[in-house]
Structure 1
Amino acid sequence: MSETFSRLIRRVVDVKEKEIATLVWSAVYFFFILSAYYVLRPIRDEVGVAVMEGKKGRAEELSWLFTATLVGILLIHPLFASLVSRLPRKRFVPLSLRFFILNLAIFFLLYEFVDPAKSLWIGAVFFVWVSIFNLFVVSVFWSFMTDIFRPEQSKRLFGMVAVGGSLGATAGSFITSKLAEPLGPVNLLLVSALLLELGCYASKSLERHKSKLALTTDQTDQQTEPHPAKSNSEDLIGGGLFDGIKSVFASPYLLGISGLMLFFTISSTFIYFQQADIVSQVFANDKVGRTKLFANRDLVVNVLTLVTQLFLTGRIVRWFGIGVALAFLPALGVVGFTLLGAWPGLVAVMTLDILRRSANFAIQRPAREALYAVLDRSDKYKAKNFNDTFVYRVGDQIGAWSYPAMVLLGLGASGQAYSMIPLSIAWLFLALWINRRYLRFNRAPSSPPGPAEGQAMRVDPY
């Protein structure tokens, strides 16, 4: 890294000289995988509206897509756990990315050469695939981060790593917003595949630079860190297919993180359905218009996220701690759902969606990821992936089927919004509880070295 660039980075974030290269490559890796996803997200959202529109606006049809997503994750999670157990990190990370690149090529060929009359079915499969893809690639990324950064480093640097993702998400949204009409949504699948390949290159570069992190460990770090991160890309994590599931159900700490995920996804899915319902009415039979609307929405979310990450995220965590960062989003939900209930409509629901997603990406997500930094390597990949994929989609199921149930019971838009207020309050109290567990563990004495080089000793913060 050049001297000028290093000085610039150190002015923005509290980073040590030997951490800079790893920090930059982490941000670049996140940039490419999120830009790839955000090229696809507006296309997926338009497909969701098209499915509802094709079935005369029935929300149940969209709910079935969420159910299919959960089934898909149930099938894929054991395969992922097997991959993690059998291959070193430097092999399974790029392998997983290239698997999704191959899938994109297949979808492109299907859209190009299959009878357009069957495109609704291809779109339904694509909706499910994108909903699985985004969870897995992001979960693998953050597992990688918690594997190579120590807990102390995660609190200092994860906010800036997330900035790379926000820039990528902004770029992806901008690409789709500007090119959806001249190129067409189908050709954007190839753009996303190219971005994923660049992300694969960045992950390999990150492997080459991450060893410098160990050189930043000084005497102070050794006294304050419960277990320094000394993972090696050649080390096998080992274990069985269901280790992550067993860990989650055996640990109140991990169950608490599962609860945070459930509350977030239930409320997010509710907003998603209400938004899709309204957009299908306002933009009837206008596929390009809907795609551009969702792309512009994502662009606003990502710009707002980026600004927050640059100027607020680090300060919030440093001044107020992980607990406030975790509690911010449910507190916003209490206020937001109250206002949405009073003034329902497209502007209100999209405004709440934008604010919630920005707060999640900029504030809660980095804080939630830091909760995993104190765990052993197996839990960082397997338990975390189970929470990030299966538990996430279970929350989707609850939200996806609750929405049509509320409609069936005769609840209007206001009543539906008000029903999310008690959930947000319970979420707020859970965030404060999990923070107390995290702080208790971080104050624990340092663990003795593990029995094998590169393996952190398991210390349960439960």
Structure 2
Amino acid sequence: MLKRFVNVKDEEIGPVLVSFLYFFTLMCGYAILKPLRDEMATAKGVQGVPWLFTATFLVMLVAVPVFSALVSRWPRRRVLPLVYRFFLLHLLIFFGVLKLGVDRNAVAPAFFVWVSVYNLFVVSVFWTFMADLFVNEQGRRLFGFIAAGGTTGMLVGPFLVKLLAEPVGATNLMLITAVLLEASAQCVRRLSRQETVAPSQARSAEAPVGGGVFAGLRLLFSSPLLRGLALQMLLYAATSTFLYYQQVHIVDRGASGANARAAAFANIDFWVQVLTLVLQLGVTGRLIHRFGLGAALAVAPLITALGFAGLALLPGMGMLISFKALRNASHYALERPGREILFTGVDRETKYKSKGFIDTVVYRGSDTVSSWLYRGLDVLGLGPMGLALSAVPVACLWLTVSVWLARYSRAHLPPAQPAWNASTDAAR
């Protein structure tokens, strides 16, 4: 039945299903925390968001070297579960603090920063593991379906919140996320025991990565591919921040009251996830196979440029929902799997160190700068139309970088190797 949705080989079915479940547990847990984080963040108004982004960026500057030190000394089957249990422990601390009746406004900034770090970090670790577990040829076929596990989690999580928030209490839902985090750790252990590539390659993947704590930064500046990926991430994050503020202003104008605003945000998120899931299950693998990585990487920035132009002309709820649904769906279903495929062709130190730096520090650094820039332009009186149009050239540069990355990968990365299977290994 699985083969109806994805071009999977018999020996890959087990790892693919566990990977799907792994991403589902991560994103379902995050989707449960996200409404609680957003509700706390808006208590003091949008003006405080740049400070929260800045604090998140500073925390990332500490977290990434710590993770690099861990993977330098310990194998992934020990480090990755440790990361998830680290976040699990802090989640239980927040749960205890809120249950003791501490003022939510006092907890809100720390909780916002923690969830923002948690989301980026655990997703980055997940895709690093996938790039280490599967080879390039497998990634092209399988990453779209595996990514659908996260999208399914983002659909189920809000449903659980809607179903249980009132009878159980929103704070108590943190315990569900804690259980899901432990399930993610168990998925790592299960996948670490399964071989998706040749046994010799699987054994080498279980050794510590080695190298220095700041090797990720050194590798980033020495590799044209990594510099391109960092610039691509920076531009994506910048347009995301501008769109976030556009969304806040449009929803604030079009919806009166907290309940109406919450419903509007939920409506946007719902259509984003539905469209993303449809693309991931039926389009991603086939599009990459037929048209290559260039097409997968180019769709999201192209939609972003057209969408901001559309918002400048028609800054309404209908345009916002259409734009955000198409942009986010193309990012999660096409561009993100395409980016992760590029990381299957680099060495393990680059995967576990430079990739983490790009996915977290570069992303949140762009968030921080873009947030302050948007606020400055708003204070100067640029206006909604001018603010939307200012993002169009950024999206065009993002499109240029994406096309270059696809061309560079064809010219410089090693060709895709066929997946290992029992019969070919036995023949050797």
**TM (normalized to structure 1)?**
0.86
Instruction: Kindly provide the CA deviation profile for residues 414-439 of structure 1, in whole angstroms up to 9, marking residues without a partner as x.
Output: 11111111111111111111111101
Report the CA distance shift for 1:40/1:283 in structure 2 as closer, same or farther (over 3 A).
Answer: farther
Separation (CA, whole Å) in 1 of partners of 2:254 and 2:187: 41
Matched residue, 1:26: 19
Matched residue, 1:201: 186
Matched residue, 1:142: 127
Matched residue, 2:224: 252
Matched residue, 2:3: 10
Match of 1:158 among 143, 164, 173: 143
Amino acid at match of 2:350: D
Separation (CA, whole Å) in 2 of partners of 1:375 and 1:229: 14
Separation (CA, whole Å) in 2 of partners of 1:289 and 1:176: 17
Matched residue, 1:361: 332
Report the CA distance shift for 1:230/1:148 in structure 2 as closer, same or farther (over 3 A).
Answer: same
The question of whether the paired residues in 2 share the 8 Å contact of 1:176 and 1:292 is answered with: no
Matched residue, 1:410: 381
Aligned-pair identity in percent equals 41
Matched residue, 1:451: none
* 3-state SS in 2 of match to 1:430: helix
* 3-state SS in 2 of match to 1:213: coil
| 2:76 equivalent to 1:89 | yes
Matched residue, 1:223: none
Matched residue, 1:432: 403
Matched residue, 1:176: 161
Separation (CA, whole Å) in 2 of partners of 1:299 and 1:85: 40
Separation (CA, whole Å) in 2 of partners of 1:297 and 1:177: 15
Instruction: Kindly provide the CA deviation profile for residues 115-141 of structure 1, in whole angstroms up to 9, marking residues without a partner as x.
Output: 33xx11311111111110011101111
Instruction: Kindly provide the CA deviation profile for residues 74-124 of structure 1, in whole angstroms up to 9, marking residues without a partner as x.
Output: 1111111111111111011111001111111111111121433xx113111
After TM superposition, the structure 1 = structure 2 runs for residues 272-311 of structure 1, keeping only pairs within 5 Å, are 272-280=244-252, 286=258, 290-311=261-282
Amino acid at match of 2:216: G
User: How many pairs are equivalent?
Assistant: 417
After TM superposition, the structure 1 = structure 2 runs for residues 323-402 of structure 1, keeping only pairs within 5 Å, are 323-402=294-373
Amino acid at match of 2:327: R
CA deviation after TM superposition for structure 1 residue 161, in Å: 0.8
Q: Which runs of 4+ in 1 moved over 4 A?
A: 280-285, 288-293, 443-446
Matched residue, 1:224: none
* 3-state SS in 2 of match to 1:374: coil
* 3-state SS in 2 of match to 1:344: coil
Instruction: Kindly provide the CA deviation profile for residues 147-192 of structure 1, in whole angstroms up to 9, marking residues without a partner as x.
Output: 1111111111111111111111211122223333333321221121
Which deviates more from structure 2 when the two are superposed, residues 41-50 or residues 255-264? 41-50
Separation (CA, whole Å) in 2 of partners of 1:231 and 1:300: 42
* 3-state SS in 1 of match to 2:197: helix
Structure 1: stretches of 5+ with no match in the other structure: 1-7, 53-58, 216-227, 447-462
CA deviation after TM superposition for structure 1 residue 298, in Å: 2.4
CA deviation after TM superposition for structure 1 residue 201, in Å: 1.6
CA deviation after TM superposition for structure 1 residue 48, in Å: 2.5
Separation (CA, whole Å) in 1 of partners of 2:61 and 2:133: 28
**TM (normalized to structure 2)?**
0.92
Instruction: Kindly provide the CA deviation profile for residues 13-56 of structure 1, in whole angstroms up to 9, marking residues without a partner as x.
Output: 2111111111111111111001111111222222232221xxxx
Instruction: Kindly provide the CA deviation profile for residues 335-365 of structure 1, in whole angstroms up to 9, marking residues without a partner as x.
Output: 1111100011344334322221111111110
